[in-house]
């Protein structure tokens, strides 16, 4: 099973700042099959990025994904107030596993 490790666990940032989320895999993810989700309490998780770098339908272009092999990154270029949430990475190249999440809080 591929273990995904997300860092940091918590990010404290102000609106307008750049947010960078890291997701490290214990082994190479085939075809870079990595997705990123945003999750707010009590709501359904929201798909942001799939196949490592493809933005999902309706996702603003301030969200971008990159990476390959074992290292993947989600970037929010300028934080908006609605972006404060928990972000999860997910690999679906070999079985299906998720990272532990990174929480973005207001600084």
Which residues sit at the interface with another protein, rule CB under 8 A?
Answer: 31, 33, 35, 37, 42-47, 50-51, 56-57, 88, 90, 92-93, 95-101
Q: How far is the CB of 5 from another protein (least distance, A)?
A: 11
17/103 with CB nearer another protein: 103
CB neighbours of residue 76 within 10 Å? 22
C-alpha triplet 13, 15, 21: angle, nearest 5°: 45
Do residues 24 and 46 lie in contact, with contact meaning Cβ atoms separated by under 8 Å?
no
Instruction: Kindly tell me the burial class for residue 54, based on how many C-beta atoms sit within 10 Å of its own C-beta (0-12, 13-18, 19 or more).
Output: exposed
Q: How far is the CB of 61 from another protein (least distance, A)?
A: 18
Minimum Å gap between C-beta 14 and another protein is: 28
The count of C-alpha atoms lying within 13 angstroms of the C-alpha of 68, restricted to the half-sphere facing its C-beta, is 1
Cα torsion 60, 61, 63, 65: sign: positive
Minimum CB separation of residue 24 from another protein in Å reads 14
Cβ proximity to another protein, 65 vs 83, nearer residue: 65
Beta carbon nearer to another protein, 7 or 107:
7
Q: Which lies closer to another protein via its Cβ, residue 76 or residue 102?
A: 102
């Amino acid at each position: 099973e591929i273990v995904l490790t997300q860092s940091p666990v918590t990010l404290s940032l102000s609106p307008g700042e750049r947010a960078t989320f890291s997701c490290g895999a214990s082994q190479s993810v085939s075809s870079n099959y990595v997705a990123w989700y945003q999750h707010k309490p009590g709501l359904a998780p929201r798909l942001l990025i799939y196949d490592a770098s493809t933005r999902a339908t309706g996702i603003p272009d301030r969200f971008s994904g990159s990476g390959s092999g074992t290292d993947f990154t989600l970037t929010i270029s300028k934080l908006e107030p609605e972006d404060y949430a928990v972000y999860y990475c997910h690999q679906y190249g070999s079985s299906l596993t998720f990272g532990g999440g990174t929480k973005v809080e207001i600084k």
